[in-house]
Amino acid sequence: MIFALALASNSNACKHLNWALQQLQNQGMLLAVSSAYEMKCRDDVGADYLNAACLFESKALELSSLQVLIRDLELMTGRIRPSHQITLDIDLIAWKTQDIQPWQYNTKKMPFALDVKIPLYDILPIATFHVSHNHNYIQLKYDFGGYQQ
């Protein structure tokens, strides 16, 4: 399956995002990694976030096992719910079983927030993730341990 994932952190963000990408690579193949974007916390209570996205393919993981993996990765970084200090947040946004099939979307995450759409559009330029106006988020060129395409 191919999965479109949104990643975010506002606590030692570069370290946690790099670590998460390494763990995902160990479970399959990273097809693409977006730029990172520095964005304000949605509710203006927590610290600024580093947001990114990736396309991840795994022949071994099904939807339910990926969701367990995501939750485990968040917990391994010390993620505490609820909290405004987020070590790692990974959201499953879309998936498909074959490259030629259309994307299926996680309706629990819709409508998609800008911090999801902007990084995803870097690597998956489809109408669903297009933002029609210019945004003023800072695009950062981290290499994410060499994973960035």
**CA nearest 38: which of 139, 132, 128, 129?**
139
Residue partners of 101: CB distance under 8 A and separation at least 6: none
The predicted pLDDT at position 42 comes to: 79
Residues recorded for the chain: 149
Give residue 41's pLDDT: 84
Q: Is the pLDDT of residue 141 over 70?
A: no
Of 68, 59, 55, 61, the closest CA to residue 7 belongs to 55
Decide: 73 and 65 in contact? Cβ < 8 Å.
Answer: no
Q: How confident is the model at residue 149 (pLDDT cuts 50, 70, 90)?
A: very low
Strands 49-57 and 138-140: unpaired
pLDDT band at 139 (very low <50, low <70, confident <90, very high): confident
For 72-126, how does the pLDDT look when each residue is reduced to its tens digit (9 = 90+)?
Answer: 999 999 988 877 788 999 999 999 998 788 999 999 999 999 999 999 999 999 9
pLDDT of residue 145: 59
DSSP string, the chain: -EEEEEEEESSSHHHHHHHHHHHHHHHSEEEEEPPEEEE--TTSSS--EEEEEEEEE-SS--HHHHHHHHHHHHHHTT--SS-S--S-EEEEEEEESSTTSPPEE-GGGPSPPHHHHHHHHHH--SGGG--SS---PEEE---GGGT--
**Angstrom distance (rounded) from CA 80 to CA 87:** 8
pLDDT of 47: 85
- pLDDT on residue 133: 75
Q: What is the pTM of this model?
A: 0.91
Q: What is the pLDDT of residues 39-67, one digit of tens each?
A: 888 777 778 899 999 999 999 999 999 99
What's the pLDDT at 142?
62
pLDDT, residue 144, reads 66
The fold of 2-146 is Alpha-Beta Plaits (3.30.70)
